[in-house]
Amino acid sequence: MKNFILKLFIGLFIILLINSFALYAQSNELLGAGATFPYPLYSKMFSEYSKAKGIKINYQAIGSGGGINQLLGKTVVFAGTDAYLTNDELKKAQAEIIHIPTCIGAVVITYNLPDIKKPIRLTSDIIADIFLGNIKKWNDPKIQVENKDIKLPELTISIVHRSDGSGTTFVFSDYLTKTDAEWKEKVGAGKELNWPAGLGGKGNPGVAGLITQVKGSIGYVELLFALENKLQSAEIKNKSGNYISPTLESAKLSSQISIPDDTRVTITDTDSKNGYPISSFTWIILYKELNKTTKDENKAKILINLLWWMIHEGQVYAEQLNYAKLPKEAVIKAENLLKGITFNGNKILK
């Protein structure tokens, strides 16, 4: 009888211990979803933070639209987006959502013309005409006049765009909406568009994959995806009339603007003389009152500590992966936002 009681006690103790470990692991795991644009950087940041702090961060790169929907549905504690939430989207949330910028990236107009060794030069109206389906051949006179020293092929242009709700699409279409009247009238800016023409690829990887496979194709991806897949990148004529290559430095120059307190700002079509015109901040978004997505105060603290680290120490990984670090003004604005986040009405950062 004594042996039976002892075994029963040991068994109950083991079950309690296992449950305690499971609860501890769960309270130290953060679930997020969203943008593919910054995914290579987030993957590196989350891996390094996990090694240093023992915190597990599970981030699903499903596109900005999907991440926003999951945050609004309160199935994740944070989301990644390259398009800040509109006033209408913020109203839908029925609770305050804040935007923490994490880095600056460039959206590259990329193409598959293996016989052309020099970068193709494009203007905003040419890009709009291609994606509207108005320009159908690579040797169209409008493209040729901007590339007098290149013999362009009589090859049909195959358009590739995102098929999912995408912040990268928002950045691309925001640029064209600012710079081309026909695009603004017929398509406009958004995470999801009614595309006049083209094939859809899921995520930046899907678009990059299609461009690699289809000769004569053109599309848009985040800079790192273009570099990793050895895709050709166009030089884009900016507002100052300069043709600019998508680089870390040219993306960084695009951010030389005044940043509002809520950090919701676009930096496309920059005034900067040497700035790349299709650049953007990308954000982590979360509820200001964190009991909306977690009832665990410890998890709320873990999330805020992670975000504080991302805008400070974590920035060291940005340029390694071809993202531009946050400018000082953006860091200060992000700090102020993080200091205002609460759990059950009490500020987390004292």
Q: Compute the mean pLDDT over every residue in the chain, rounded to the nearest whole number.
A: 91
Mean pLDDT across 92-119: 95
Closest CA to 64 of 107, 96, 24: 107
Instruction: Provide the pLDDT confidence category of residue 316 given band limits of 50, 70 and 90.
Output: very high
Six token digits for residue 105: 């990236």
Within 8 A by CB and 6+ apart from 166, the residues are 35, 36, 63, 64, 65, 82, 191, 192, 203
Domains 2-103+282-347 and 106-279 share a fold: yes
Residue 14: per-residue pLDDT: 35
- 60-78, pLDDT tens digit by residue? 999 999 999 999 999 999 9
Mean pLDDT across 225-239: 94
Residue 29: per-residue pLDDT: 92
Comparing 105 with 15, which gets the higher pLDDT?
Answer: 105
Cα-based distances in Å from 221 to 91, 108, 207, 210: 30, 5, 7, 11
The CATH fold of domain 2-103+282-347: D-Maltodextrin-Binding Protein; domain 2 (3.40.190)
- CATH assignment of 106-279? 3.40.190.10
All structural domains of the chain with their residue ranges: 2-103+282-347, 106-279
Residue 138 has pLDDT above 60, yes or no: yes
Residue 165: per-residue pLDDT: 85
- pTM of the predicted structure, to 2 decimals: 0.86
Give the lowest-confidence range in 122-131, 163-172, 336-345. 163-172
Identify each DSSP E strand in the chain by its residue range: 29-34, 56-61, 78-81, 97-111, 121-122, 158-162, 199-201, 217-222, 232-233, 235-237, 243-244, 279-287, 342-343, 346-347
Residue 5 has pLDDT above 80, yes or no: no
Residue 1: per-residue pLDDT: 54
- 31-56, pLDDT tens digit by residue? 999 999 899 999 999 999 999 999 99
Closest CA to 348 of 311, 294, 281, 310: 294
Mean pLDDT across 245-252: 94
Distance between CA 156 and CA 105 in Å, rounded? 30
